[in-house]
A and B are shown apart, each in its own frame.
Chain A
Amino acid sequence: MAALDQTQVKEGIDQETVDTVREVGGAYKYGWETEIEMEYAPKGLSPDIVRLISEKNEEPEWMTEWRLQAYERWLTKEEPNWAMVDYPEIDFQDQYYYARPKSMEVKPKSLDEVDPKLLETYKKLGIPLKEQMILAGVEGAEDAPAEGRKVAVDAVFDSVSVGTTFQAELKAAGVIFCSISEAIREHPELVKKYLGTVVPVSDNFYATLNSAVFSDGSFVYVPPGVRCPMELSTYFRINAENTGQFERTLIIADKGSYVSYLEGCTAPARDIAQLHAAVVEIIVEEDAEVKYSTVQNWYPGDENGKGGIYNFVTKRADCRGDRSKIMWTQVETGSAVTWKYPSCILRGNESQGEFYSIAIANNYQQADTGTKMVHLGKNTKSRIVSKGISAGHAQNTYRGLVSMHPKAKNARNYTQCDSLLIGNKCGAHTVPYIEVKNNSARVEHEATTSKVDDEQLFYCRSRGMDEEEAVALVVNGFCKDVLQALPMEFAMEAQQLVAISLEGSVG
């Protein structure tokens, strides 16, 4: 039975997907907001705000200093404008940089002190029942049978991590999975050693901003030789109004270890655009492997392009050790503006980087996304599979860099970049940058652009599917290579999202 379910998912759209879409009935599914009393730092950015954030997180002095230096750097930097996106100027002084549920003011000692409204939020976010129970601090929840596979969850609500599940079980395996603020307090040696080593403080405008004001995020450390016993997952949610969210994620896979990490994001529907500038750093040591999957479903704005999340994210993995491996998989359906290039630094010899991406832009969404594969070591390999879908008036750009450095002897890259257009008011662009500095390296690039074909839609409809089902089916087929790269739970969610985010794109 399990095997059967698996086949069905991998083959394309599932019936449940279609049902869910029906139930949701058109609107952005996560557009509700939770009425929770919030505590805000004053609007705007200053050294005092930076200190306040640091203080609220009970950070040691070195961390405060690190942030303040980042803040000074940020003042000297300019917002990048090379991406193929267009949005009104952001007033960085008109934002809240810190918001957290009042009930978290005193850190809950156990999860049953967590505001029930927060827990209600997890439920709506589709966090599995067992994790909800654990997040809710239900006694004995850890021992209750989990439905299906275990997934440890860290939930970040606005700026604050509100709880992590399965901590004990992970600890027994030697895995540290906690909020980054906790890691700064409890594991300063690890944080000091790795923070900012993949994405330096001064890397880019948004990363520098994040370094100054990040309020929370997730931290993972997998010790040498350990295969993490379950999927790790973080749910990010922006709830408060006018609040930027700046999470910071740090993942370290020590020698010979393995971990699969999932990240899901949502935000309420609001007229005013909101800023999200996260930084994710991944360190992969010798023979280690990390899978990082994202289903990004931030509020995309309404059908006229009002509101939505500006998603300016820096994600980078450093394959430091020989034979290390990173695999990024992303499903980008949300955000008004997306600016995101999960990258792989292939430093170790024979290290491998893979990037699988589905980016859907509908209505007035703008997505400029892709990857960077920087080959430094010998015999390094990378593979890029990008599926861009544009509908409505949306613009979707794939921007990818493949760089073969002089020492990257016999390095290989294969890039496949497919665009699908729905309707004739949208656009798809492919911008590959290729730099080859040694002649034993090989770079292959294939690109296609196609349209959702009326013949295909009629064929599906003549068999009984309505137009939206038909589009979802055809598009899920187009994305199949990438959907297959996702863990099971996410593959289901991703298929639903594909369907939901394309509603109203035809007819």
Chain B
Amino acid sequence: MLNIKNLHVQLEDEDKQILKGVDLTVEAGKVHAIMGPNGSGKSTLSYVLSGKGGYEVTDGSATLDGESLLELEAEERAAAGLFLAFQYPVEIPGVGNMTFLRTAVNAQRKARGEDEMSAAEFLKEVRATAKSLKIDADMLKRPVNVGFSGGEKKRNEILQMAMLSPKMCILDETDSGLDVDAMKLVAEGVNALRDENRGFLVITHYQRLLDHIKPDVVHIMANGRIIKSGGPELALEVENNGYADILAEVE
């Protein structure tokens, strides 16, 4: 599904290499986790995949179901089925959450040549989805992420993910800053979306999220590279011993 090969990325304005040859394949139906110390390039990877400006790909490739992502505009990647749950969701004052979501859903449908959802249809679906994620209907009316608590922001990302039903979901530290209950809610939301046609790339700092979202594969990223991959037990190893041992092992 998602195929990343030898991906090299540097900053556009600065001669600074951030990703130094990332190789990663996520198959449909699988959940891959990426762990790694701060500053290792995890967020950069998620931004580059979803088309944020300011980065330059100097080498390598990234494809989704065989289609190269790197030439596409951000919105084309979204329409192709890629979704990023942001580490820091952005506030958009004055724009209702519902309006935002409907505009997004219909923009993607249109890009794919599908019929747009009517206002009534959309309303029904968004209400049902919000309910299943235990999101208060009131949150739908408020402006996008404005004045949302940390937990609300992250749940809002999951709501968007559920409404857009992407093929490939990337979650960037969706658990950070959440208490245990909020994290459980987020994990339940993700688990409800797991199916054999959908891939997940879960970026996290802590093992605890992976207690709730059971990964198939765990990767360790450091200094712009995946330095080790393994099963869920790798996450536990990090939890117990930190990154030092793994880093030393690779050196």
Chain A contact residues, CB within 8 Å of chain B: 1, 4-5, 7-8, 11-15, 18, 453-456, 458-467, 469, 473-474, 476-481
Contact = CB atoms under 8 A, between A and B. Distances in A.
Contacts of A462: 50-52, 74-75, 77-78, 83-84, 86
B128 interface: no
Given A15-B103, A458-B51, A461-B51, 10 more contacts: A456-B91, A458-B53, A462-B86, A463-B100, A463-B108, A464-B79, A464-B107, A464-B108, A466-B75, A473-B100
Interface in B15-63: 50-53
Contacts of B100: 12, 460, 463, 473
21 contacts: A4-B119, A8-B119, A11-B98, A12-B94, A12-B99, A12-B100, A13-B95, A14-B99, A18-B103, A453-B90, A455-B90, A462-B77, A462-B78, A464-B107, A466-B73, A469-B107, A473-B99, A476-B94, A479-B94, A480-B93, A481-B94
B116 interface: yes
Nearest to B79: A464
Contact of B92 (A456, A469, A481): A456
Contacts of B94: 12, 476-481
B96 A12 contact: yes
Contact of A458 (B74, B83, B99, B119): B74
A477 B95 CA distance: 5
Contacts of B77: 462
Nearest to B54: A454
A467 B73 CA distance: 10
B180 interface: no
Contacts, number: 114
B98 A4 contact: no
B92 A473 contact: yes
A494 B79 CA distance: 28
A478 B93 contact: yes
B160 interface: yes
Given A8-B119, A454-B53, A465 B96 contact: no
Contact of A15 (B50, B51, B116, B123): B116
Contacts of A478: 93-94
Interface of B: 50-53, 73-75, 77-79, 83-84, 86, 89-96, 98-100, 102-108, 111, 116, 119-120, 123, 141, 143, 160, 164
Contacts of A479: 94
B92 to A, nearest CB: 6
B95 A474 contact: yes
The 3 closest A-B pairs by CB, nearest first: A477-B94, A11-B96, A480-B94
A462 B102 CA distance: 14
B86 A459 contact: yes
B103 A465 contact: yes
A8 B75 contact: no
Contact of B119 (A5, A453, A456, A466): A5
Nearest to B123: A4
Contacts of B86: 459, 462
A455 B100 CA distance: 15
B75 A464 contact: yes
A477 B93 contact: yes
B108 to A, nearest CB: 4
Given A458-B52, A461-B78, A465-B107, A8 B99 contact: yes
Nearest to B86: A459
Nearest to A472: B103
A478 B95 CA distance: 8
Contact of A463 (B78, B93, B96): B78
